[in-house]
Amino acid sequence: MMRIGVVPPRRTACIDREASVASACRMMREQRVGEIVVTDNLDGKPVPAGIVSARDIVTRIIAVELDPAAVTVGDILWISARPATPAESVPEAVERLSASGGDALAVLDFSGNVAGVVSLDDLLLALVSGRPLARSNLR
């Protein structure tokens, strides 16, 4: 069975849930990523709380004309599926992500640190192809 560890995660950026959406937008632009892992601080360590995507920002902030400098990423964070681990099966991750209604999962390394992000599209492509994705396929 294919495991998450063979699906190379996309590079990611992390931001504290108290940061403004405007700050998240700047970070996403600087890091050239389409989603950002929102973290909580647990005993001095950032722990993933969920993911905010560019689509989330457009539909929940820009489209309703809210001020991105006045809204935090925590304010627009959907309840997210728990992060994936390298040992988890791809079908399990697809099922959990689909049930959550999200687009992507944070991927934790074996030490519990954020290693990247894997999207539903990445997971489905890996399942259909039956082989790991080439890094060139990742955004």
Q: Return the HEC string of 8-39.
A: CCECCCEEECCCEHHHHHHHHHHHCCCEEEEE
Integer CA distances (angstroms), 33 to 27, 116, 127, in order: 8, 11, 23
Residue 69, pLDDT above cutoff 90:
yes
Residue 136, pLDDT above cutoff 80:
no
Give the number of other CB atoms < 10 A from CB of residue 134: 9
- Return the pLDDT at 131: 62
Domains plus CATH for the chain?
4-128 (3.10.580.10)
Helix (H, G, I), strand (E, B) or coil at 90: helix
Q: What is the pLDDT of residues 23-47, one digit of tens each?
A: 999 999 999 999 999 999 988 888 9
- The first and second tokens of residue 103, run together, are 């687009």
